[in-house]
A and B are shown apart, each in its own frame.
Chain A
């Protein structure tokens, strides 16, 4: 299953930031997955799990010298980690595009949003005016079927949060990219708008056969949307499998503990039982060089977890987990 026909093949990705003291800080530590055409991969991780680092790694958006990256990110066979700046610029936006979390920051305040989408097209070599007009209109009609023209003529501040997020999606799909990476695209929206934007992604998926990496800290957003789910913890991939496998029968103790901590709508608390089974707080000390990063908080830790790094264990053809619990099987 690895690599064959994948659009994106990430192997053993390690990224460390150089801190001001010169000590490298590991943000990603051996992440691997591949992305098939038309697939939605959900990446689930909490703060500090490395999920945003993963997003920028896929587009080579590192600040010069601040980062040491290792491993491979193969896009259609080309390693993006070794690509020249010029090659990357041609790929970003056109082949792989990124949707950020904060639509109010990502849009220009004094340029009509239609113009901002047009500029993306122009930056990637479309220079015929009528062609630019046509494609811009087409993209707006996809995202705003009823009021495409009015929205395109608006400024960012005249739009609601949901509308702004749609404009960012318009920018991201304008060039017909092979892969869209969305980093917490609904985090700043209220739940009703969140669902509306998820609906937009669902629709685009069907109509454009979009291939997507959807990064979030909220597992609820992935159920019914992602095909496969990758769980990140402290920079490492701890579990990867089909959405069903990971969301319904998670195997890694971290994934299990995380899901238990979320209050349920269908099973409201019993009277008198008001404590959520929370995971104990993480230690602030940097994670140790050896051993499982979740060891200190893990309810099922064993002696070996401290001294050795767990490797990937296959539980099924698609379900991988990094935990010694499953190694003997």
Chain B
């Protein structure tokens, strides 16, 4: 079976001009290769500055990559024209850490939900509304919420809304860039469960970018560890947790806030 997404030797360089001295080249991505299959979850973990977010932006087409290939559904999207790209872009959706800043504060939930469809422009108003209803319902957001502003929602509801909006275009790949990081533990668990449920009902693939290695291990089929723009280690969560091969993975595991030593043994009912 062909992977849904195949990234090969992806490179992104920025050039940075210091106040004094010559231009300096920064390799944010330094030859990244991996693939994701349909309905699977790949987690990318690493410290700040390891290139995780640059990777997300590159895959979503929000930044142009310097070199390499990104094959999505077997087409090299870095070499597609604008028209073909549009049909592909809707299938790759990106969700950020802070949903509040990615919504128009003057728009009501319904407008936020239907905008992506309106931009695609091939559904009537009623059809768009109907789809928004259905998606909101699946995400546990009541239709009473449609008339609210995003600022009137709680943090967990806003993150649900961000996921709901992404689902409007029926994507094949969701890129979640620290999408759970700003949420409370109990809300994280709700959204994580929602993601698991959506994945099995819609067979979406996830690229789950995080620095929470425990959540990565919980959600992912495979974990890739990044450092300085490279994937330094990759494998099944169990293997990464139990037999880390690189120093950075060991460091990340050691730095992960440990709660387990004090983990309560409460009977699950």
Contacts and interface: CB of A to CB of B under 8 A. Distances in A.
A224 B251 CA distance: 19
A259 B193 contact: no
Contacts of B57: none
A106 interface: no
B217 A193 contact: no
B255 to A, nearest CB: 5
Given A276-B193, A299-B269, A262 B259 contact: yes
Interface string A273-291: 0111111011010000000
Given A46-B184, A258-B185, A275 B259 contact: no
Given A194-B255, A276-B193, 12 more contacts: A47-B155, A219-B185, A224-B261, A243-B262, A247-B264, A248-B263, A250-B266, A262-B185, A268-B238, A281-B156, A281-B187, A284-B154
Interface string A183-197: 000000011111100
Nearest to A277: B268
The 10 lowest CB-CB distance pairs between A and B, nearest first, are A220-B257, A261-B189, A278-B189, A46-B184, A220-B259, A263-B218, A276-B189, A223-B262, A266-B260, A247-B262
B interface, by DSSP: helix, strand, loop or mixed? helix
Contacts of A261: 185-186, 188-189
A272 to B, nearest CB: 11
Interface string A79-108: 000000000000000000000000000000
**Interface size class, chain A:** 35 or more
Contacts of B192: 263, 276, 278
A265 B211 contact: no
A187 to B, nearest CB: 9
A274 B261 CA distance: 22
Nearest to A49: B184
B257 A191 contact: yes
Interface string A250-264: 100000111111111
A176 to B, nearest CB: 29
Interface in B107-166: 140, 154-156
A314 interface: no
Interface in B208-234: 211-215, 217-219
Interface residues of B, number: 44
B211 A190 contact: yes
A246 to B, nearest CB: 9
Interface of B: 47-48, 140, 154-156, 184-190, 192-193, 196, 211-215, 217-219, 237-238, 241, 251-264, 266, 268-269
Nearest to A262: B185
B97 to A, nearest CB: 11
Contacts of B189: 261-262, 276-279
Contacts of A23: none
22 contacts: A190-B211, A191-B256, A192-B255, A217-B184, A219-B185, A220-B258, A224-B262, A248-B262, A257-B186, A260-B268, A261-B185, A262-B189, A263-B192, A263-B217, A265-B213, A265-B256, A266-B260, A267-B260, A268-B217, A275-B196, A277-B189, A279-B186
